[in-house]
Structure 1
Amino acid sequence: LDAFKMQASAGAGSYDNLRFELDVSTPIGTKAGLRFGAMAQDQDQFFATAHRNRIGGFAVGSLEIGDRTALTVGGYYDRFRPAVQSGLPGIIGGVDGSDGRLLDVKRSTYLGADWNRFNAETWTGFAELAHKISDRWTLRATGLFTDVDRVDIYSYIGNQPVTATNGSTSHIAYRGDSKQQTRSFDFNGIGSFPLFGRDQTLILGTDYQASSGTSYFTRLSNYARIDVYNPVSPFEPPLNPYGASPYYPVQGTGATCPSSSTTITPAPTNCVLQVYGGSSTDVEQYGIYGQMRLSPLAGLTLIGGGRVTWWDTTTTTLLTPSGVLPPSTRYGIDNRFTPYAGIVWDVTSHLNLYASYADSFTPQAAPVGRARPDGQQIEPLVGAQYEAGTKLSLMNDRLLLSAAAYEITQTNRLFNDPDIQTVVLQTGKVRSRGIEAEATGEILPGWRINGGYTYTKTKYLEDQTTAFEGLPLVPIVPKHMVKAFTNYAPVDGPLAGASLGGSVTWFSSTYGGNAAVFNADGTLRTRSTIVRQPSYAVLDLRAGYKFNERVGVSVNVANVLDKSYYARIAATGRGNYYGSPRTAFATLRYSFE
């Protein structure tokens, strides 16, 4: 850092949205520097009674130790209290096999409870020591720790559909208390060496990560009901994730329930019992990795590398209603190699072509009480990604065009055997293919543009339910998306300092859920749970004015036309979310250096 610098902003907008940010950097002598900052945001939501709040801060210090060594130490704190929202249900499909449909209710409709709350606190600290051992090689050691404390207390609707005339659905109360600690370390070296008459790059490193977490939960199902057409928040029931609680009367029934906290058969009428439990999960992983970038010819770069991973997970049950604790389960992976490779060809100084391949794996565990029929360990979720693309620079590098195509496959997906409650199967394979194209740049002084197109197609290749094979994996993701943005800021003249811009984003139609199923004789077995969101576009606008080098103001208006649409859909059960109505947000910025 060469000089003191400060940036601050304050903003206000729709739904009592208030936000403040501060970022300060300052040198300390000639060998050290300090940067620190803070943010705070408080905001209501467009759906009734919901609120979110966030505060955070960070500090980073740097110190040069001699001419070749640098030390960086820092940390940040984040406290997040988001709005808890499980979305809206849909209307079940017809008895004739027709699809269901999304609810046409006010966007402010909220089917949670007015006492819902969520609190997550995250503390993070890190340190990095870098030492330049020569003009070509640098060694770097880093360490990171993160502690997360989280408490969730909320009520949400069950996963049942409603009808056009009956909007009654169940409510589920939940409390979860969890703590998570993560420690990670990395040591690597990066450098270059001469070969083929030019410098080549090599990275070698090793890393280690350990995490330990505990979680306790309780869930009280069907303790209340709510009408989606006239929602009234249920009352908060007692929720104890650390032990048994007696039967609870379903709200609104006037039931008198026994004081027993153990299951009674048959169950008392209009009385429900909490389920609860606790567990801990310890994960330890370490590995070695490397990457080499070779340029055997001018304009041609070959990239190769990979990682060898060792992974161990131990899960322990800490609390059960029966008091019987099963033995801990362990899941391990040894010497798992995940390679990647790529090639970049600079055809000219303005055009390049590239292609790449990468392997991935994600450890996974069988659901509680289930195992593979052969008794073998669950295999990790394995992925392979192929990508090829090009980048073209035009107008003296003022305009950049890019295009890419990719394919991702995943195998070893888990499926619960519907006939044997203790068996899980690994037979799933899925594929995603896509195309992305983008143009960005400043085509005239002060006039910036950005536009892009995304095509996404997902597909079940193999599935335990053969009827799914060939169908989209995630039809709730738009197959086509187009986005265009422009902003004009005159560089001189009477309008210098002003700026005006806007964007429009278009999404193709989506659907979620499963089609109706008919018996062999043509009678209906199960109704359709499919809901559909037609294609739609959202227009955003912005304007700003920079009074001088230090002070500026801007106003952003999202969804200018106040388009009503579902931004995310699932099926006729819960999980359908309206997009935000029109909102405005004004920001005042100040900088000093």
Structure 2
Amino acid sequence: MTSKPMHSLRPHYSRLTLAIHAAIVGMVVAAASPSATAQVASSGSAVVRSYHIGAGPLGDTLVQFAAQSGVRLSFEPAMVAGQVSPGLQGNYSVKQGFARLLGASNYATQELDDGSYALQARRAPRDQSTLPAVTVTAQGEASATEGTGNYTATGPSATATRMGLSLRETPQSVTVITRQQMDDQALNNVSEVLEKTTGITVGRNDSERFTFYSRGYQIENFQFDGIANTMDAANQYTTSLADSAIYDRVEIVRGATGLLTGAGYPSAVVNLVRKKPTREFAASVEAGAGSWGRRRLVADLSTPVNEAGTVRGRIVAAGQNADSFTDYYHRDTRNLYAIVEADLTPHTLLSMGVDYMETRADGASFGHIPLFHSDGSPTHFPRSWNPAARWAYWNNSATNTFVTLKHDFGGGWKLDLAGSHLSQRRDAVFGTAYYGTVERATGAGISMLSGTNPSQAQTDAFSATLNGNYQLFGRTHDLSLGANYSRQNRDAQNYNTTFTAIDNYFAWNGNIARPAAEKYEDWNIRIVEKGLSLATRLRPTDNLSIILGARASWYDMLDKATAVDTGAVTLNNDLRVNRKITPYAGLVYDINKQWSAYASVTDIFNPQTYYKNAAGSALPPLTGRAHELGIKAELLDRKLNASLAVFHIRQNNAPQYVGVNADSGEEIYVPISGVTSRGVEAELSGSVTPAWNLFAGYTFRTSSAPSQPDAVLSAVNTNQPKHLFKMGTTYRLPDDWSRWTVGGNLTWQSDTYYQQSSDPYYRADQPSYAVVGLMAHYDFSRNLSATLNINNLFDKTYMPGLGSYGTGMYGDPRNFLLTMKYTF
């Protein structure tokens, strides 16, 4: 060693030594005694796990694999200096993973008596041209984040274009919330996931409903494994409460997404990507307990059905019971997900599955706390205040059955067929004291709105996508053809509502007689959407790609009501939009292997069925165009994603409230053009080191609308902040503390306000606020771990997205959740 100059050793020896000491010695040497390690190795060395380790220096990839698999590995850094590894993508046992990482190197691992591994020189085979055999159990889904242990999304995403592009190749802002991030922060339902997503705010309408916003506009476009589903105010409550235990990741594309989704707002599309079965047996169970009597249980089982693993299945079950910081409010949730995959041929994959969810909520509100006293001053009711009657309840259920068929024709051409049937039911009896303003002296002025509101919805959806490549001018280009169809049928039984005056609202405790409700009509809405899309990615040079596309959409809505007593049918809406063309254009230039710059122009439209003019006719469809410029990077060997974007969105035919029709009592709106939203977004997500995960996003947005002399308020959502910052991070401690992972998260937003749309125009302000959370994770063994999450550490009082029904609902006070997980 001393025969060489010291500086010739430093570039490799020092860097690898630090990495090994920080990520290996600290994480696994202190993890267990030799006897305990040997016991784990004897039972766990054959366990197959999912790994996503990028290609890179051999020493670094060995460090990452040993840390993620939970084994000890010893080797001299100089042995692997200057060598590279192909990385690891897929499901492997410990021995298979080491073999794959070492590949054609001159080294192999030897399992020692204490269960640890050592790197040794490989014996030369008799035939020097033959390399040792490497057995791969399963490749797995290329984009899957489960089992990676980090916040990095390295696989392709089809949410924006269906072309399976990487995040850096997609000319729009894309965020991926990985399975690890959901586990670390205990993001156990869809609304909690979106609360931690860059650029998205979550408004609470009442105890059961949420409204999601991006770039100042509502989000109504959701997807399940890429199959579109509109989640508007009529049916969003079932999806937003769904348990996240069934999802591998959540992909969010911000801006207009008309190429694939058709009707909607220029806000975002959210793709909920379910977990997939594995070829080897894998199972886990977790139990949680937390504030307000919260109890949670999740079981996850994946197994091959036949010996070859060509048929495999997975079942995930999740249940939770919890009271609340809100008086006499209780909610139970149940979720079940099952899927079977079959390799019909080496090139054809059939998947069939179902997911089911139900919620049972007692003391549920419909609207929440009144915001104003009768003199216009803000109310300050305690966070525990429940405006709902004690007999009020809200029960939801949804069953989503789906089937997909994927076939690879070869030569780069692939066909994806998908179909689903979504059935949703609501059984709600509401009674909420919120209507009016509160007299300071007497507590008078508030009425309880009560009634019953059952509904049912059936949605059938089908999509087909053909992707491939073609040659033109001596270069290879990509092509995508798509078609989709959905038919939604909603039924509701409308009952009369009752207003009951509350003598003294300050004495309200929810004990009140339930008024009788009488059914007066059956309501039916049928919505049919069809679309054809065409997109191509041209590659005129190695560094430049140009995406051009368009979608033709058809939208048909029939809204009618049938009176119970007479049988008379009233046609509320009969709306048709034919061959609406929404173009798409994007450009991506690769500055180098890490950095790229992009620009995109995307459109979207949305029929406006419930916004009527003075004549009672629906306003013309709202149209939106989004412009975006940005840069993206894949740093640290693609372990860390970075992006910076500027955006400008312009809406035409936005509904502007101007008054009430004296004859019909309906609200009157006028269409206005030039409503704009512009801003900047920045995001950083991934693994800074094998031990350090980081997610951070910042959004600045400002919106404006042309001056309207007869309008009371702007068409812009003033309950959305101009500044929004979100961050989450975890770090596995080194050396003797390596069993511990600690982390935290922060959400900060600037001030917002809500103002009444009619005289006397009272205004409620929500000052800027920050919510902080902490996390601590401890590995008792390779199989058993515990995670403690503390949310709203400083017990901040705030109302997210205030103003729904002229009311506000508080965010959760300080609370905790302790989760124990055992992996088989």
TM (normalized to structure 1)? 0.84
Which residue of 2 is the match for residue 459 of structure 1? 704
**Equivalent of 1:405, from 646, 662, 672?**
646
Q: Is the partner of 1:316 in helix, strand or coil?
A: strand
Aligned equivalents of 1:425, 1:444: Cα separation in 2: 54
The one of 705, 716, 734 aligned to 1:473: 716
User: Given residue 753 of structure 2, which amino acid in structure 1 is its aligned partner?
Assistant: Y
Paired residues of 1:126 and 1:144 also in contact (CA < 8 A) = yes
Instruction: Describe the shift of the 1:20–1:226 C-alpha distance in structure 2 as closer, same or farther (beyond 3 A).
Output: farther
| Mapped partners of 1:129, 1:92: distance in 2 | 58
Cα shift readout 1:13-32 (whole Å, capped 9, x = no counterpart): 00011111111111122221
Pick from 368, 390, 414: which aligns with 1:138?
A: 414
Alignment counterpart, residue 46 of structure 1, candidates 303, 310, 325: 325
Residue 151 of structure 2 corresponds to residue 151 of structure 1? no
Counterparts of 1:420 and 1:238, CA distance in 2: 29
Partner residue in 1 for 2:457: 180
Aligned with residue 556 of structure 2, among 312, 321, 325: 312
Asked if structure 2 preserves the Cα contact closer than 8 Å seen for 1:569 and 1:575, the reply is: yes
* Pair 1:537–1:150, CA change in 2 (3 A): same
**2:342 counterpart residue number:** 63
Correspondence 1:28 to 2:272: no
CA distance in 2, matches of 1:201, 1:222: 60
Equivalence for 2:625: 384
Distance in 2 (alpha carbons) for counterparts of 1:176 and 1:331: 25
The question of whether the paired residues in 2 share the 8 Å contact of 1:438 and 1:452 is answered with yes
**Contact 2:755/2:764 (8 A) holds in 1:** yes
Once the 2 structures are TM-superposed, how far is the Cα of residue 205 of structure 1 from its aligned partner? Answer: 2.1
- The correspondence of residues 537-556 of structure 1 with structure 2, limited to 5 A, is 537-556=770-789
**Counterpart contact for 1:283–1:314, Cα < 8 Å:** yes
Partner amino acid, structure 2, of 1:383: G
1:296 counterpart SS class: coil
In 2, distance between residues paired with 1:352 and 1:421?
A: 58
Work out whether residues 191 and 202 of structure 1, in 8 Å CA contact, stay in contact via their aligned partners in 2.
Answer: yes
2:678 partner letter: R
Distance in 2, matches of 1:567 and 1:301, equals 41
| Count of aligned pairs | 538
CA contact (8 A) 2:339 2:351 kept: yes
Measured at CA, do residues 56 and 239 of structure 1 come closer, stay the same or move farther in structure 2, by a change above 3 Å? farther
Deviation at 1:165, TM superposition (A): 2.8
Tell me, in whole angstroms, the C-alpha distance in 1 between the residues paired with 2:603 and 2:583: 6
SS of 1:298's partner is coil
> In structure 1, how many angstroms separate the alpha carbons of the residues matched to 2:687 and 2:347?
39
Percent identity at matched positions? 27
Deviation for aligned residue 1:313: 1.4
1:576 correspondence with 2:820: no
Q: CA deviation at 1:73?
A: 0.9
Whether 1:440 aligns to 2:685 is yes
Matched, 1:5 2:282: yes
**Distance in structure 1 (CA, Å) of the matches to 2:651 and 2:503:** 40
Task: Give me the whole-angstrom Cα distance separating, in 1, the residues matched to 2:572 and 2:690.
Answer: 65
Query: How far is 1:583 from its partner?
Result: 0.1
> How far does the alpha carbon of each residue in 1:237-274 deviate from its partner, in whole angstroms, 9 at most, with x for none?
254453xxxxxxxxxxxxxxxxxxxxxxxxxxxxxxxx
CA 1:234/1:485 → structure 2, altered by over 3 Å: closer, same or farther?
same
1:114-129 correspondence to structure 2 within 5 Å: 114-129=390-405
Query: Which residue number in structure 2 is paired with residue 353 of structure 1?
Result: 597
- Residue of structure 1 equivalent to 2:750: 508
Aligned CA distance change for structure 1 residues 145 and 396 (closer, same or farther; 3 Å): closer
Match of 2:769 in 1: 536
Which residue, 18, 37, 62 being the options, matches 2:295? Answer: 18
Q: 1:356 to 1:166 in 2, by over 3 A?
A: farther
Taking the aligned partners of 2:741 and 2:571, their CA distance within structure 1 comes to 64
Q: Does 1:498 align with 2:740?
A: yes
Amino acid paired to 1:477: Q
SS at the partner of 1:159? Answer: strand
Post-superposition CA distance 1:206-239 (Å, at most 9, x none): 2211111211122433224164433221434254
Give the whole-Å Cα distance in 2 for the aligned partners of 1:239 and 1:404: 55
1:336 equivalent in structure 2? 580
Measure, in 2, the Cα distance between the counterparts of 1:388 and 1:321: 58
One-letter amino acid of the counterpart of residue 16, structure 1 = G
**Whole-angstrom CA distance in 2 between matches of 1:484 and 1:235:** 44
Taking the aligned partners of 2:360 and 2:558, their CA distance within structure 1 comes to: 30
SS in 2 for 1:563: coil
TM-score by length of 2: 0.62
Which letter maps to 2:467?
Answer: I
Superposed CA deviations along residues 260-304 of structure 1, whole A, max 9, x for unmatched, are xxxxxxxxxxxxxxxx43211112222211221111111211112
Question: Measured at CA, do residues 464 and 175 of structure 1 come closer, stay the same or move farther in structure 2, by a change above 3 Å?
Answer: farther
SS of 1:442's equivalent in the other structure is strand
When residues 226 and 559 of structure 1 are mapped into structure 2, their CA distance, relative to the original with a 3 A threshold, is farther
Give CA deviations for 1:38-66 in whole Å, capped at 9, x if unaligned.
11011111110011111011111111112
Contact 2:658 2:711 in 1 (8 A): no
- Structure in which a larger fraction of residues adopt helix: 2
Task: Sort the Cα spacing of 1:239 and 1:127 in 2 relative to 1 into closer, same or farther, 3 A.
Answer: farther
Q: Which segment drifts farther, 15-24 or 429-438? A: 429-438
Q: How is 1:234-383 mapped onto 2 (pairs within 5 angstroms)?
A: 234-242=511-519, 276-319=520-563, 324-327=568-571, 329-366=573-610, 373=615, 378-383=619-624
Pair 228,555 (structure 1): closer, same or farther in 2 beyond 3 Å: farther
| 2:610/2:618 contact within 8 Å kept | no
Q: Is the 8 A contact 1:226 1:232 kept in 2?
A: no
Do 1:90 and 1:576's aligned partners in 2 also have CA atoms closer than 8 Å?
Answer: yes
Q: Which residues of structure 2 form unaligned runs of 5+?
A: 1-277
Return closer, same or farther for 1:38/1:235 CA change in 2, 3 Å cut-off: same
Displacement of 1:485 in angstroms is 2.8
| Residue ranges of structure 1 left out of the alignment (5+ in a row) | 95-99, 243-275, 518-525
Q: Distance in 2 between matches of 1:393 and 1:225?
A: 60
Give CA deviations for 1:168-188 in whole Å, capped at 9, x if unaligned.
311011211111111111222
Contact 1:457 1:472 in 2 (8 A): no
1:366 Cα offset (Å): 4.5
Instruction: Kindly state the Cα deviation for residue 574 of structure 1 after the two structures are TM-superposed.
Output: 4.0
Letter in 2 for 1:581: P
1:501 alignment partner AA: G
2:790 paired with 1:557: yes
Q: Distance in 1 between matches of 2:447 and 2:585?
A: 51
Counterpart secondary structure, 2:410: coil
Q: Give a deviation string over 1:132-160, Cα, whole Å, max 9, x none.
A: 22332122221110111211101112431
> Is the Cα contact below 8 Å between 2:451 and 2:495 reproduced in 1?
yes
- C-alpha separation between the residues in 1 aligned to 2:422 and 2:324? 29
Cα deviation for residue 93 of structure 1 reads 7.2
* Alignment match, 2:269: none
